[in-house]
Structures are given as C-alpha cells and as structure tokens.
Chains A and B, each alone.
Chain A
Amino acid sequence: MAVDQAPPAGQPADVHAAQLAGLDALELGGSTSSGLATRVWGRVWPMLLAIAIVLAIWQAIVWSGRWPEYVFAGPAETFGKLGERLSDPEYWQAIGVTMRRAVTGFAISVLVGLVIGALVSRIKVLRAAFGSLITGLQTMPSIAWFPLAILLFGLTESAITFVVILGAAPSIANGLITGVDYTPPILLRASHVLGFRRLQLYRHVILPASLPSFLAGLKQGWAFAWRSLMAGELVVIIAHQASLGERLYYDRELADSAGLLGTMIVILVIGIGIDLLFETGDNALRRRWGLQQVRN
C-alpha cells in the first residue's frame, strides 16, 4: 500500500522536493497531439463529402426536368457564371459593400451588446426590467423591423445597420449576461477570500470567466447579423450601390437563375467562413482553459 512507503517526516526538504518532483512527473505523463495536417484533413473531408452529396442531389433535380433549365440552373452552369462574375471587379465591389456593412454593423452590435450586457448583469433593477426583454428581442424576426426602419431612416444604409444591430446585439448581450450568471461560485468564493470586490472582482474574475459564453454570444450574434443584413439588402435597395442582396434581387428580376444561385453560394460561403473563424477562436479558448480534451 502506498501508505507504507510514506517518507519519514522531517526529512530534509530537498528529499521532499525530489519525491514530489517524481510524483509530479509520473502524474503528468506524456501527451501526444496529432499533426496539423492530419487535423485539418480530418475536418475537411467530411465537408468535401457533404458538398459532393449536395451537388449530386442538385444535378439530379435538374435532370429530373421538374423545372426548365432557365429557371433552375445546374451546378456546371452556375459555377461557370460565378467564375465569370468573380473575374469582374464590379462583383467584388458588391461583395465589398456587403462585407463593409456586415463588419460595421457587427462591430457596433458588439459595442452595444457589451454595454447593455454589462449594465444588465451588474444592476439588479435593470436585470428585472430588461432581462427577459432581451431574450424576447431575439425571437423577433429581423425582417419585421424593416418597415419601421425604413420609416425612420428611409431607404438608406442606416436602415439596414439599424436592423442588423437589433438582430445581433441581444445575442451578444445575452452571452455576456449568461457568462456572468454562470461564473463558478467556487471562483467567486476564492476571489472574495483573496480580497476582490466590486469593480476589481468584475474586471479580474467575472469578465474573464464569462468569456466562453460571451464568445458563443458573438457567434450567434454574427449569424443574426448576417441574416438581417441579407434581408435588409433585399428590401432596401439603394441606388448606385451594388451589394450581394441587391444582386440577388436583380438576378430574380432578370430571371438569371445561374447568377442567382451563384450569389447564394457566395453568401453561404462567407457565412460559413466567418462562423469557422468563431469556432476556431472558441476551440483555442477551450484548449487553453482545458474545457475539453484535445481531439485527436
């Protein structure tokens, strides 16, 4: 039994140190992590498989003849058209306008969400008044805001940004509030004993502790922002300013099926790409915090 090997008390400290070091080394063991290439491939091949399946179904529907080809273009035609457009600087400008709107709208949402989240999580009265309202806002379909937005701001970019913020900020605020609420009590107790109070407690303990939940809120907020933005660009057509949503609108007007599907693919790819960025950030954080075993 381990107890029998217990060292006689009062041994010189360096013997203790050596024994502790020995135990430490035993307990830590070695860790193996697979290479980057293997991990990337592990993530990529299921995606490739999914894309292949979708393309096959798409082609099958086209071949079934349910719709004439000028209404529902096949993959080959769509990608051909998309390639053409991607070599046109004007199309890139449209993408640029949409991305600029997305980034500014999301950035403002983060600021608004942070301020609201911080206030609501800190101040009891605000919590009682606005806590459920914020959750309620999330269930509001963003398209329903547009009539009001257009009344308030006219057919301008401000109307779009307004709705993007209303879509994204509640999720971001909620992420922060949830994170604050679920700060592990043991950490709060430990911090209290260490002497952290009020603002210092908030800054050094509660805020960092709520980071994972805040990040989840950001990710969800991005999804809402992107959806609201696309709805907005379809509804609020601003003259002389091409954007992805505006492209969709005119492709439908002109019955350009291949162009429409191509733009939809661009929108999907951008959405997925940014979502992947958030997921990478989330995984990195989890690994640093030891919240999950590293996948191998």
Chain B
Amino acid sequence: MTAPLTERAARRTGGAEPAVRLDGVSKIYGQGKNGLLALDNISLAVEPGEFVSLLGASGCGKSTLLSLVAGLDRPTAGTLDTGGRKIAMMFQEPALFPWLTVAANVEMALRVQGVGKKERRERATEFLEIVHLGGFGGKRPHELSGGMRQRVSLARALAQEADVLLMDEPFGALDAMTRDLLHDELERIWQKRGLSVLFVTHNVREAVRLGDRVVLLSSRPGKVAEDFPVDIDRPRITDSPEVAELASTITDRLRKEVLRHGR
C-alpha cells in the first residue's frame, strides 16, 4: 500500500541519520523479582522532520519511553541515540511554574540558555503569538483555561528551539473542539519548523490525524506491535472517511492486543 518505511524516510530527509533512534531498548522498574518490565526490546526510529504517533493502551509504557528519550531516566538495556540533538517535551499536564507569569514561563526556556532579558522578553512574546496567546503574557497560569495552559506549555517547548519535540498525551484532557483546533495548530507549527515529533496518545483518531506513521505498542511489556504508515494527504480532518477507515483498522489491531491480555 505504501513504499517501504526506509524509502519513505529517505525521500523526506535525503538519507540523513534518524533524529531519534532506539535499539533494543528495555526498561525495568524496580529490581529482581519485584522488577516490572515496562518496555521490552523496543526498536524505533524517528527521521528528521517526521511526525510519529505512538499509540497504546494506558499503562503500556508510552510515558516511560518518552522519559527515556528525554533523558529523564536511563534504559535498563539497549541503546538510545539522539545524535546530540536538543529535545523539548510537553507533558500531559501543562507543568507551568505557578509563581511566574505566562510570559516568564516561556522565558524560562531561554533563561537557562543565558539569553539576555530584553531578547528573552521579545522572543517569549513571539512564541506566545505562535500559539495565539500574544495578549496573555501578563497573566498567571491559573487564570487561564486548560487548553490555554497547554498552549503556553507548547510555546515554552517551542522556545527551546529544539530539533525534537516529545509530546505525552498533550491534548488528552481537552474537549474535542479545542483539541481539533490545536491539532491544526500543531501541524502548522511542525511543518513550518521542520520538527521531528514523537507524539504519544491513546486516541487512535488523533494518532492517525497527526502522524506520518502510527506505531502501535502492545501492553505488558511494551513492545512495538505494528507500524502503520499513514498515507493520507495533509491537511487532514479527524472526521474524514480516510482517517476513520485507517483508525478502525488500527483499533481492530489494538483490540486484539488488549484481548490477548484478557485470557
């Protein structure tokens, strides 16, 4: 149905090294008998500029995988290579600093790089404008709605000017309409900035709506169950028949994975 993966990636990137590569990565929480095998021998690559959706039931190790890529934790086995790229991450919660204004939150990404105060302010405003929150820089996070906070979080991640953006169910807590709008925004920003994105979700349609590929993880332990290329022209619509069709194929596969556990 599509060209082989490597060929597709090569077309997009001119054969460069993957932005993120996991080779036989495993993660065990705890030790000995009580150890929990959260990820088992995962091999996965995200090409530069590629948008990969990582799909799986909850508890299958998606967050664990992102933590490893972000360097928040170390794999128990296997190798993880990001080629020294800068990595930004967005969490399921906005994770904003409550003592700072919205603008100062975005500035935190620049502060750590030693950017001067004036430039910091200007660039924070720019990034807030990208997520359409230009006028909200002076507010405190708690004064904003959930969707707006998540956009601030996105602005802060963008302000890191990273090459790789990791997103852990960033829109999971939002209503459908806001989520749809943010999908469009994210797609626009991703295309414009040439980011490599690893996007975690348990929502099949969201995965198909956004991803160049949908990587399905099985549960307990987390393994790559299948890798679905998404050959639907962008911009896509979540409720279009094409998206719905692929989503139902993937849902069937996901259901089989879950049933495997029922026995």
Chain A residues within 8 Å of B, Cβ to Cβ: 1-11, 13, 16-17, 19-21, 23-24, 27-28, 186-187, 189-196, 200, 204-205, 208-209, 211, 288-291
Contact = CB atoms under 8 A, between A and B. Distances in A.
Interface centre among B99, B175, B184 (most CB of A within 10 A): B184
28 contacts: A2-B175, A3-B176, A3-B177, A4-B239, A8-B237, A9-B183, A9-B187, A9-B236, A9-B237, A11-B184, A13-B188, A20-B178, A20-B181, A24-B145, A27-B145, A27-B146, A28-B144, A186-B91, A186-B95, A189-B91, A193-B70, A194-B109, A195-B112, A195-B113, A205-B97, A289-B98, A289-B99, A290-B98
B99 A208 contact: yes
Contacts of B144: 24, 28
B237 A6 contact: yes
Contacts of B178: 20, 23
Interface stretch (B10-18, B31-39, B42-50, B135-143): B135-143
Nearest to A205: B97
A194 B156 CA distance: 9
A6 B239 contact: yes
Contacts of B236: 9
Contact of A196 (B71, B98, B112, B142): B112
A203 to B, nearest CB: 10
A20 B155 CA distance: 15
A288 B112 contact: no
A28 B145 contact: yes
B28 interface: no
A195 B84 CA distance: 14
B180 A208 contact: no
B180 A7 contact: yes
A222 B76 CA distance: 49
A154 B184 CA distance: 76
A193 B180 contact: no
Interface centre among B148, B177, B234 (most CB of A within 10 A): B177
Given A17-B132, A186-B91, A186-B93, A290 B143 contact: yes
Contact of A290 (B140, B176, B183): B140
Contact of B87 (A6, A16, A189, A193): A193
A8 B209 CA distance: 12
Contact of A193 (B72, B93, B181): B72
A189 B239 contact: no
B196 interface: no
B87 A288 contact: no
Interface string B66-98: 010011100000000000000111010101011
B164 to A, nearest CB: 11
Interface in B139-171: 140-148, 156, 160
Interface of B: 67, 70-72, 87-89, 91, 93, 95, 97-100, 108-109, 111-113, 132-133, 140-148, 156, 160, 175-178, 180-181, 183-185, 187-188, 234-239
A190 B181 contact: no
B184 A9 contact: yes
Contacts of B93: 186
A3 B98 CA distance: 32
Contact of A16 (B91, B156, B184): B184
Contacts of B98: 289-291
Contacts of B184: 7, 9-11, 16
Given A7-B181, A27-B148, A186-B95, 7 more contacts: A9-B183, A9-B184, A10-B235, A24-B133, A193-B87, A194-B112, A290-B98
Interface centre among A1, A6, A194 (most CB of B within 10 A): A194
B145 A189 contact: no
Nearest to A26: B145
B177 A189 contact: no
Nearest to B157: A193
A208 B178 CA distance: 32
A199 B176 CA distance: 41
A13 B111 CA distance: 29
A31 B144 CA distance: 12
A289 B140 contact: yes
A21 B112 CA distance: 31
Contacts of B147: 23-24, 27
A2 B108 contact: no
A40 to B, nearest CB: 24
Nearest to A197: B112
Interface centre among B91, B112, B146 (most CB of A within 10 A): B112
Contact of A6 (B140, B176, B187, B235): B176
A200 B185 CA distance: 32
> Shortest 8 CB-CB distances between A and B: which pairs?
A290-B142, A10-B235, A27-B145, A9-B235, A190-B95, A6-B180, A289-B98, A195-B112
A27 B156 CA distance: 22
Given A10-B184, A195-B113, A204 B235 contact: no
A86 B10 CA distance: 88
A293 to B, nearest CB: 10
